[in-house]
Structure formats: structure tokens, C-alpha cells
Amino acid sequence: MKKLNQIVFYATLALSAGAAQAQMRIEISGVGSNQIPVAVAAFADESVAPQQISAIIKADLERSGAFKIIDAGTISDVNNIDYSAWKARGADALVVGTVAQLADGRFDVRYKLLDTVKSSKLSQLDQALAPQFTRLSAHKIADDVYLKLTGTRGAFATRIAYVTQEGRNYRLEVADADGEGVQVALRSNEPIISPSWSPDGTKVAYVSFEQKKPVVYVQNLVTRARTVVANEKGSNSAPSWSPDGSKLAVALSKDGHTQVYTVNADGSSLRRVSNSAGIDTEPQFSADGQSIYFTSDRSGGPQIYRMGSGGGEAKRVTFGGAYNISPRIASDGKTLAFISRRDGNFQLYALDLASGQEVRLSDTTSDESPSFSPNGKYIMYATESGRRKSLAIVSVDGRIKQRLTTQAGNIKEPTWGPFMQ
């Protein structure tokens, strides 16, 4: 049932949202440590499908930085593999597969992951799917390869959301994690900011200025129905979902200065949870939902604090640098990503919450809006280069860097969606 729900979600999204005109371009730099050598063969008869399955798998694995890809050409007989020959070519693993068109128009995609060292099969997947899901099928295969060879779940079959701006035209767009399959969720002549995915991946909360003031909405990506979650006097901003999807943390100035509140996802039960004489904003629930991280200037300059999700005493978290904002928490709750201003530059940092050790992850100078991949291995953020805003992705160890650009307009305010079950 969960798999069916995912297929229905993708199909409905593709039909209900207008496709964007500009596709993104990805530039990759750096390599991971201890790359795993993997041979990827062209899938037998994959030319019958609308997407070249093996090319998408290769691109996903290369983009991750965790693998050294060996081109295996075409292997027509996937049931008789000379393991020693592939081991001699330096491959620790081999990806093979076949594609066949069924009588009903669907495609039968079959894949195997083979261990050339142990001369054994590590994994296999068989999928019968509609033509529009061939790209998703390839992403799922890449996810399986990533999981079986690294022990960590892959995030290639996930989605991202971001805002594009061309003059006074703003679009909230949703795309595959590789920037393909772009769909428009909302168009507006007024700014759209701070999108945030719901934990089940079917909704996005965001702030829209269409009422000539910032208002927090939740939009269902399948039905496109919208709910006003916060439209109080003053500013309504910075929505962030609780892990169970039942409520959001928001920053409101209804009582004179901006403070952190929680509100149910339907807009009911608004409750103030921070209480300071300063500005408390940019709330983010912890991975277990028990705490809220937020930015506050209560110490004189903006720093990141943590308090219980129901309020109470707040403890300062960041101490390096005098200006730290935009907290984001990895799914395992161990790493805090944030933006720090040092020497006049706004750059992405990661803080190990247990040891207190921090590391600068970006070499750009105008970074904002970090967002973790659902497996916690990568961070997407917005940056600026040559007066043009684009998206960037960096691995949490700082070794792999990607830049996502489009030919039209600026891209900003990224948020990485959850795993789709």
C-alpha cells in the first residue's frame, strides 16, 4: 500500500502541476574518500524505454562521490557473469539489468547487483511500471546500490523544493533530487519564501506575500489545496514541521516582537513557546520532536539556542563566531548545519552536537537556507555567484560539492524532501 501511495503521489503531481520551462544543470567537483569501484552495464534492450535506465544510475552514483564508475558496456546475458574478469578490471561490484516492454504498455525493469570479490549476488529488484516512472525506477535502483555498498540509505529517489525568481515572477517548484522532472506548485507576483516539506512528502509549508504581508500556508502537492496556518497581526514566518507531521513551529510578531510559536497543521491551537525580550526566529524541531532549535539575539547577536518543544529554558548551542543563524538538524539528530558570518562572509558550517567541533563546508561567501538530505549525508543550500543565485550541495565531510543552476532566473530557498515510503 505504501508503494502504491508513492506511485499515486508522483503521478498526480505530474498531472496537476504545470511543468517549468527551465531545467537545472549540475556541476560536480571533488571526490569522496575511499571510493567504491562499481561497473555499471547498459541494461539489455533499454532503448525501448523512454529513459535510459543505466545512464541515470551512473549519474546518480557519480554525483554522490562515493563511487568510482567503470563503464561496463552492454552485457546481454546477465545470468552468466565472469566475476573474475570484472574483478581484474578493478570492479568490486557490477550492476546489470534488462528492460522489456509488456503487452499493456508498461516496462519490466530488472536489475542485479553482483559482488565480484565474493562471486555472489548482493541484491536484485524487479519492477513493472508505467512509462512515466522509468526515471523513478532508475533512482530506486541507484538507492539500492548505495544502500548495499555503503550501508546507508540512498536519497536519489527523493524530491527537492525551491523558489525561482524571474523579475517579479516567483515560482515554488518541486523536482527530483537531480533537478529533473521540475513541476510548478505555485506561481505568484509576490515573494514566496521558506518552503518546508511535510514528513510524509505530500505537503509543503511556505510563506507567501500575496496578501501584501507574510502569511504561512500549507499546500497539498497532490490536490493543490491550501490551508492558512498563520495569518496573525504582523509577520508570520519560518514554518518548520514536527517529525510526526501534526504541527508546525513558526515565528510570529503578533505580540510586538518575533517569538516562536507552535500551531497544528490545520491552523488550530496556536501556542507561544519562547519568551524573551529579544527576537526568537527560525525554529526547527529536533529529529525526535522533543526540542526546538531557533535563532535568537538574546545574547546581543544572533546565535542558535535549543529549548523543549513545549517551551521552557533555552540553552545556547553555537559559540564559534558572533553571528550564527538558520539552524537545521540532521535526521539522526547528531549534526547541526547553520550559516555563520565571519570576516564578512556568510558561509555554511556543520556542528557536531556531541563534541562541539565545527567545520566550514562551503567556499562560497553568500550562503543561506541549508537543508539536509534525508539520509543526513549531504546538505543543500542557496548561494550567490556573479549576482546570480543558485543551489549548491555539499557532503557533510566537505569533500563533494555540486552546483545546480538554471538558465532562467535565480534559484533560492531550497528544502530537501523526505524519503518516500
Given a cut of 90, whether residue 240 has pLDDT beyond it is yes
Give the chain's mean pLDDT: 91
What's residue 103's pLDDT?
Answer: 96
Burial of 88 (0-12, 13-18, 19+ CB in 10 A): exposed
**Cα 354 to Cα 348: distance, rounded to the nearest angstrom:** 19
In this prediction, residues 349-353 reach a mean pLDDT of 97
pLDDT-derived band at 407 (thresholds 50, 70, 90) equals low
What's residue 71's pLDDT?
Answer: 86
Phi-psi region of 398 (alpha: psi -120 to 50; beta: other; left: phi over 0): left
What's residue 6's pLDDT?
Answer: 45
Q: Which domains does the chain have, with CATH numbers?
A: 31-150 (3.40.50.10070), 159-416 (2.120.10.30)
Instruction: Give the contacts of 300 (CB within 8 A, at least 6 positions apart).
Output: none
The DSSP line for 241-258 is E-TTSSEEEEEE-TTSS-
Which residue matches cell numbers 525568481? 165
In this prediction, residues 67-76 reach a mean pLDDT of 90
Q: Considering the entire predicted model, what is its pTM?
A: 0.91
Phi-psi region of 344 (alpha: psi -120 to 50; beta: other; left: phi over 0): left
In this prediction, residues 264-288 reach a mean pLDDT of 96
pLDDT-derived band at 33 (thresholds 50, 70, 90) equals low
pLDDT-derived band at 18 (thresholds 50, 70, 90) equals very low
Given a cut of 50, whether residue 7 has pLDDT beyond it is no
What's residue 409's pLDDT?
Answer: 74
**Per-residue pLDDT tens for 165-185?**
999 999 999 999 999 999 999
What's residue 385's pLDDT?
Answer: 75
**Per-residue pLDDT tens for 82-136?**
999 999 999 999 999 999 999 999 999 999 999 999 999 999 999 999 999 999 9
Residue pair 24/160 in contact by the 8 Å Cβ criterion: no
- Write 185-190 long-range contacts (CB < 8 A, 24+): 185/17, 185/161, 185/219, 185/221, 185/224, 186/219
Given a cut of 50, whether residue 5 has pLDDT beyond it is no
In this prediction, residues 202-231 reach a mean pLDDT of 96
What's residue 294's pLDDT?
Answer: 98
pLDDT-derived band at 11 (thresholds 50, 70, 90) equals very low
pLDDT-derived band at 13 (thresholds 50, 70, 90) equals very low
pLDDT-derived band at 387 (thresholds 50, 70, 90) equals confident
Given a cut of 60, whether residue 19 has pLDDT beyond it is no
Given a cut of 50, whether residue 339 has pLDDT beyond it is yes
**Per-residue pLDDT tens for 287-323?**
999 999 999 999 999 999 999 999 999 999 999 999 9
pLDDT-derived band at 404 (thresholds 50, 70, 90) equals confident
What's residue 2's pLDDT?
Answer: 39
User: Helices 134-150 and 53-64, interaxial angle, to 10°?
Assistant: 40
In this prediction, residues 339-351 reach a mean pLDDT of 97
Selected residue with higher pLDDT from 33 and 78:
78
pLDDT-derived band at 362 (thresholds 50, 70, 90) equals very high
Given a cut of 50, whether residue 333 has pLDDT beyond it is yes
pLDDT-derived band at 147 (thresholds 50, 70, 90) equals very high
Q: pLDDT exceeding 70 applies to what percent of the chain? A: 92
Residue pair 295/303 in contact by the 8 Å Cβ criterion: yes
What's residue 228's pLDDT?
Answer: 97
In this prediction, residues 150-164 reach a mean pLDDT of 96
**Per-residue pLDDT tens for 365-383?**
999 999 999 999 999 999 9
Phi-psi region of 349 (alpha: psi -120 to 50; beta: other; left: phi over 0): beta
